[in-house]
Amino acid sequence: MNLLILPGDGIGPEIIAATLTVLRRVDDLFGLNLAYQTRDIGLKTLASQGTTLPQAVIDAVGHADGVILGPVSHLDYPPADQGGVNPSGILRTHFNLFANIRPAKSRAGMTILRTPMDLVIVRENTEGFYADRNMHQGIGEFMPTPDMALAVRKVTAEASSRIARTAFDLARARRKMVTAVHKQNVLRVSDALFLREVRAVAADYPDVELDDVLVDAATALLIRTPERFDVMVTTNMFGDILSDEASELAGSLGLGASLNAGHDRAVAQAQHGSAPDIAGQDKANPTALLLSTAMLLRWLGGRRRDANALLAAADAMETAVEAALATPSARTADLGGPLGTQAFAAAVAERLVR
């Protein structure tokens, strides 16, 4: 099985190295026969090739079984017409990775929550208010005058329906509850369309309960009563904000796992950014990318003949990460521990068992 590794910018190369330390141990234990190909993207290729995402990398993604993507510093990129495209956004739209799946759960000694949280946020990944992925030509933001900026939000029935189906499928394997998060009281057309499609999909899942919550209420309820949520499904920007909130409530944005998935391809990507202020200092928490990679293994396990080994490997990887996090002396600095990036990866690798 061939995995494409894209280290990215900032702390990307460090957390990628940590992830590969653990993944190679997983491969040894479970005989996954993994092969790795590493390609540069981001600021490195901008300097050497004039683009943050070379066409050769896009082609390589199309031939890989799975992709592990490091964070990118797209805020530091020049405009797209000068080569500064957002690799994450381009890969999501080019390969139709429409579902951004972001689990979040609280852990003893790390969370500020009074009651436990264990939920999954299912975020539509290809449209919404994201200016780099909602137009055929140009971007979704424009300025008719120097003092006026407009933004276009795209919501389609097709995208709303397929993200809803992803959420209901996940809920069916969990606690059988889906919450649609929206702002229909203000966005009376676009969010009404989103909710219409979610409710239509719900009819195919009579065993799964559906409710809906305004996004501003959802931000408060995540703090007050997080246990009421099982699977939350929402549009692109709302999902991005809510998942960051949920990860911080769990203890750190460094815990935020994320998988970008379509029907035939998936990319593991930590929820957080490239943190250039701590790059090269061995301070970054690699947990998010480790758990994202376990999600990728599980996704691949649902689609391959060697499913048992992949699913067992994903379980073992998650168990080892949780065992390390449960030990205060094995945590990284953002969680109050003494370990750096690579030492934490070694602590996880030591806890891997078949």
pLDDT in tens, 118-147: 999 999 999 998 888 788 788 889 999 999
Active site residues: 130, 183, 216, 240, 244
CB-based burial of residue 186 (10 Å sphere; 0-12 exposed, 13-18 middle, 19+ buried)? exposed
Asked whether the beta carbons of 101 and 258 are under 8 A apart, the reply is: yes
Return the percent helix, strand and coil in the chain, to nearest 5. Answer: 45, 20, 35
Asked whether the beta carbons of 66 and 4 are under 8 A apart, the reply is: yes
CA distances from 302 to 117, 263, 298, 310 (A): 26, 11, 6, 9
Domains and CATH numbers, the chain: 1-88+263-354 (3.40.718.10)
Asked whether the beta carbons of 100 and 260 are under 8 A apart, the reply is: yes
CA 278, 12, 239 angle in degrees (round to 5)? 95
**How far, in Å, CA of 235 to CA of 218, rounded?**
13
Alpha-helix runs per DSSP H in the chain: 12-30, 43-49, 55-63, 87-94, 157-172, 190-202, 215-224, 236-250, 287-301, 307-325, 341-350
**How far, in Å, CA of 288 to CA of 62, rounded?**
24
Asked whether the beta carbons of 52 and 85 are under 8 A apart, the reply is: yes
pLDDT of the chain, 354 residues: tens digit per residue: 999 999 999 999 999 999 999 999 999 999 999 999 999 999 999 999 999 999 999 999 999 999 999 999 999 999 999 999 999 999 999 999 999 999 999 998 899 999 999 999 999 999 998 888 788 788 889 999 999 999 999 999 999 999 999 999 999 999 999 999 999 999 999 999 999 999 999 999 999 999 999 999 999 999 999 999 999 999 999 999 999 999 999 999 999 999 999 999 999 999 999 999 999 999 999 999 999 999 999 999 988 777 899 999 999 999 999 999 999 999 999 999 999 999 999 999 999 998
If residue 182 lies in a helix (H) or strand (E), which one and from where to where? strand 177-182
Q: At what angle do helices 190-202 and 157-172 cross, to 10 degrees?
A: 40
How do residues 22-76 score in pLDDT, each as one tens digit? 999 999 999 999 999 999 999 999 999 999 999 999 999 999 999 999 999 999 9
Residue 210's identity, in one-letter code, is L
CA 351, 115, 211 angle in degrees (round to 5)? 110
DSSP characters for 293-346? HHHHHHHHHTTSTTHHHHHHHHHHHHHHHHHHHTSGGGSBGGGT-SB-HHHHHH
**How far, in Å, CA of 136 to CA of 22, rounded?**
40
